[in-house]
């Protein structure tokens, strides 16, 4: 298993004007009415994630993920209950993460410290 952490650069790259932001929110609400959410408990929190922690299997595919807020508190843990995952659902290979994000390898103990201390 491989464990990494990286800062959430998605919120910065997707930031736009208020008008665009409001339009995206409206479209997202309509989309959620038509299609059930893949992560019903956590989809609204994804943009609040500051740092992601991921666990990869031997094939280099993410199998577990934790999202931390600005204070380093876990706010997302997936897969969990009815939530399939954000990164785990995409199935992006470890090598692609290393190319796209500035990743830092962490150890299993650090990952499971957050995984085990998650409160819903």
* pLDDT reported for residue 28: 58
* pLDDT reported for residue 91: 83
Distances (CA, A) of 116 to 34, 86, 112: 34, 19, 6
Average pLDDT over the chain reads 82
CA distance 84 to 103: 23
* pLDDT reported for residue 21: 59
CA distance 39 to 55: 18
In which residue ranges of the chain is pLDDT below 50? 11-18
Q: What is the DSSP letter of 26?
A: H
Helices (H), 1-120: 10-13, 18-34, 87-90, 94-100, 108-116
Asked if 80 contacts 41 with a C-beta cutoff of 8 angstroms, the reply is: yes
* pLDDT reported for residue 12: 39
């Amino acid at each position: 298993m491989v464990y990494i952490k990286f800062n959430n650069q998605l919120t910065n790259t997707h930031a736009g004007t208020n008008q665009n932001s409001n339009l995206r929110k409206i479209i997202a609400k309509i989309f959620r009415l038509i299609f059930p959410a893949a992560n019903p408990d956590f989809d609204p929190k994804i943009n609040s994630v500051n740092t992601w922690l991921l666990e990869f299997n031997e094939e280099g595919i993410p199998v577990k993920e934790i999202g931390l807020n600005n204070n380093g508190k876990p706010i997302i843990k997936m897969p969990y209950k009815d939530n399939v995952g954000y990164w785990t659902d995409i199935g992006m290979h470890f090598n692609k993460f290393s190319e796209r994000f500035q990743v830092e390898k962490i150890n299993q103990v650090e990952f499971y410290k957050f995984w085990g201390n998650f409160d819903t």
